[in-house]
A and B are shown apart, each in its own frame.
Chain A
Amino acid sequence: MKKHIHIKRGIRWKLLSTLIGLIVGLLIIITVIQILVQKKFLERDLDNRITSIRTNIHTRGKTLSNYLARLTENAIESFKLTHITRMIKQLVADDEDLKYIILSDYSSRAYIHTLKPELEQEILSSDEDWFAVNQSNAIIHEFERDGISFLEFVVPINKSANPWGVLRLGYSLNMLNKEIADSREEIMFETRHIVVWSIVISTIFIWIAVATIFMISTRISSPLVNLTKSVWKLSDGDFSAMDTIKIKSSDEIGMLGNAFIEMSRNLRESHRKLEKYSRILEEKVEDRTLRLKVANTALKEKDNMKTEFLSTVSHELRTPLALVMGFAKIIKKRLDDVILPHTNINENKVRNATQQVKDNINIIMLEGKRLADLVNDLLDISKIEAGEVEWKMEPIQVSDIIDRAAIISSNYLQEKKIDLIKDLEDDLPSIIGDSDRMIQVVINLISNAMKFTKKGSITLRARNLNNEIVISIIDTGIGIAVQNQKKIFEKFKQVGDTITDKPQGTGLGLSICKQIVEHHGGRIWVESEWGKGSTFSFALPCNGASNDIIEKNEEPIVTETGVES
C-alpha cells in the first residue's frame, strides 16, 4: 500500500503567507506615514512661500499706491496730469503683476486709466471706492473676475484737504495661484514617487522573503516529509524504514527522528514477540481444536450409541412386555369367565388363594402398564434430548388442546370421581406449536394432578397475560412443599413419602413436559402450598410474538445434536 503525500497548507505555505502579509502591511504603514509627513512638510513650505509672495505684493502695492497718490494729489493741485499719466502707463507696462491703475473722481469719471480691453467699465465704481474716500489710508481687497484673482489697492485722493476721488491699483494674483498649483503638483509628484518606491522596495523584500522562507521551510519540511513516509511504511509493517533514516541535525527535528528510530526499534521488538506468541497460540488452538474434534466425534458416537441403545432396548422390551401384559389379561379373563365359576369358594383356603391370585394378577397388570409407560417416556425423553423429534410447528388453538386433553383424560377422571372444570378466557389468541406434544403436556399435568388428588376437582385454566398464554392445571390435592417445587421437574424425582405412598407414574412426566414447553420458547413452574393443592402452569408466547423465540430456541437444540459442526 503506497500512500501519496499531499499536504494541504503546509509549513511553507503558512510561513510564506504570514511573512508576506507582515511585509506588505508594514510597508503600507510606512508609506502612508511617509506620505503624510512629506505632505505636511511640503504644505507648510507652500504656505510660507504664499505668505512671502503676498507680503511682497502688499509691500510693493502699498508703497507704489501711496507714492502715486501723493504725486497725483500734487498733479491735480497743479492741473498737470500729463506727466503722471505717462508715468502710470509706464509702470503698468513694466510690471507684469500690475494689471491696471485707475484714477477717478467721485462722479466715477476716470481721469487716468490703463484698462486693457478685457477689463470692464464696472470696475470703475464699487462700494470700496466710496468707502475708500473716507479713509486716509489705502484699503486692500481681493476679488476674482473672469478666472483671474486680483488684489486691489484703493487709495483716497484729496484736493485741498477735501476728498476728490480714488486711485486704484490692481495687482494680478495669478502668479500666486500658479505658484500654489505648481506646489500642489509637486506634492502629488512627491507622493507618487514615494508610493512607487514603496512598491519597488516591497517587491524586492517579498522576493527576498520568499526565497528565504522557501529555503528555511525546505530545510524544515523535507526531513518531516521523509519521516512521515517512514512512519507510513512502519504502519504497513515495513520495519526497514528505520534503517533508511539518517539524522543530520541535532535540532528539534533531529530529536524527533531519533525518537522515531527508537520507537521503531521497540515496535519491531514487540512485533517479533507478538508474532511468536500468536504462532504459539495458533499451534495451541489447532492442537486443542483437533483434540476437541476427536472428543466431539467420540461424544457423538457415544450419543448415537446411547440413542440407538435406548431405542433398541425399548423396542426389545416391548415384545416381552406385550406378552406379560397380554397373558395377564387373558389369565384374568379365564379366571373370571371359566375358573372361578367352577371353583368351590366356600372352602376358606380356596377362597383366600383365589382372592390372592386375583390381586396378584391385578398387580402384574398395573405394574406392566407402568413398565410400558416408563419405556414410552424413556424413549420420548431420549428422543427429545437427542433432537430426533420432528416438531410439527403450526398455529394451534389453546381451547382445542385443552378439549382434546380433557377428553382423553375423562375416563380415568370418572373412575376416580374427580370433577374437571374448564376455565378459558374468551378470544384467546393462537400459539405456534406441535399440537400432539402440547396435548401430551396437558395430559401429563392432569394425570400428575390426579395422582395427588383424592377428592375434589381439577381446573384447567387458560389466560392471555402480556402476550403470553398461561395454561394452568389447578388441583385440590395435598400440595408440594416449597423445597421440593424445583426438584419435581428433574428426571426420576418424585415427591412424597415413599414408605407410606406407593410411588405412581414413571417419574419422567414432568421432565418431558419441561422439555416440550421449553422447546416452544415457554416456561413451566409450580405454585403450591403444603396441604392446599398445587397449580402447575406453563406459559407460551402468542402467535406472532412467538416466531422469533421459537427460532432462537431452535438453535441450542441444533447445536446439541449437530455435533459434526
Chain B
Amino acid sequence: MPKILIVDDEPGMRLLLEQSLEELEEGGVELFTSSNGDEAVEFIRNERPSLVLLDVMLPGKNGFEVCDEVKNKLGMKNVYVLMLTAKGQDFDKQRGLNVGVDSYMTKPFDPDDVVKKIVDVLRLEI
C-alpha cells in the first residue's frame, strides 16, 4: 500500500493536491497531509511513505531542510521527494540537488500533470 505525504502550510494547496490525487486513492494509495516541517520529518521516519510532495516555504523546517534530514541524516534514500517550487527561484534547483531532491513541479501546476508524474514514479496502474 503506497503512502503519499502532502506537506504544505496552505490549507487550500493541501486540499487541491488531495482532490487531485483522489483518483489514486481508488487505486489503493493512502494520502496523508502535514502543515509543518518538523511534523513531516516525524511522519516520514515513522510511516516511511513512498513519495512526499514537499513545499519550500514551511513553518518549522523548510522544504530543503526536511529533504536533507530525510535523505541524508535518516538515510531514507528510497523516499521519493517531489518538490513544489515557485518559478523564478533559480537558486532552488542547485540547493535542491545538494540535499537530494528527486524532481520538481513549478507552481502554478496542472493537477493532471501531478497525477501523471506520481503514477510514473510509483509505477501505479489505474
Contacts and interface: CB of A to CB of B under 8 A. Distances in A.
Contacts of A311: 88
Nearest to B56: A315
A330 B20 contact: yes
B10 interface: yes
Given A314-B88, A318-B86, A319-B10, A327 B16 contact: yes
B107 to A, nearest CB: 4
A323 B12 contact: yes
A380 B86 CA distance: 13
Interface string A330-341: 100000000000
Given A327-B16, A330-B20, A319 B107 contact: yes
B13 A330 contact: no
Contacts of A315: 86, 88-89
Contacts of A320: 12
B108 A330 contact: no
B110 to A, nearest CB: 7
Q: Which of B16, B19, B88, B89 has the most CB of A within 10 A?
A: B88
A197 B98 CA distance: 115
B20 A322 contact: no
Nearest to B22: A330
Interface residues on B, range: 10 to 19
B90 interface: yes
Given A318-B107, A330-B111, A372-B108, A323 B16 contact: yes
A376 B87 contact: yes
Contacts of B110: 325-326, 329
A139 interface: no
Contacts of A325: 108, 110
Given A323-B16, A330-B16, A383 B88 contact: yes
A390 interface: yes
Nearest to B19: A330
B88 A322 contact: no
B125 interface: no
Contacts of A380: 88
A321 interface: yes
Nearest to B87: A376
B13 A322 contact: yes
Contacts of B109: 322, 326
B25 to A, nearest CB: 14
A329 B112 contact: yes
Nearest to A326: B16
A195 interface: no
Contacts of B89: 315
A368 interface: yes
B13 A319 contact: yes
Interface string A359-376: 000000000100010001
A390 B111 CA distance: 31
A372 B107 CA distance: 9
B12 A318 contact: no
A329 to B, nearest CB: 5
A278 B10 CA distance: 65
Given A329-B112, A368-B108, A322 B16 contact: yes
B112 to A, nearest CB: 7
Contact of B108 (A322, A379, A390): A322
Interface string A442-460: 0000000000000000000
A-B pairs, top 10 by smallest CB distance, nearest first, are A322-B108, A322-B107, A326-B16, A323-B12, A318-B107, A379-B88, A318-B86, A321-B108, A315-B86, A325-B108
20 contacts: A311-B88, A314-B88, A315-B86, A315-B88, A318-B87, A318-B107, A319-B10, A319-B13, A320-B12, A322-B107, A322-B109, A323-B10, A326-B20, A329-B110, A330-B111, A368-B108, A372-B108, A376-B87, A376-B88, A380-B88
Given A315-B88, A318-B87, A319-B86, 7 more contacts: A314-B88, A319-B10, A325-B108, A326-B111, A327-B19, A329-B110, A379-B88
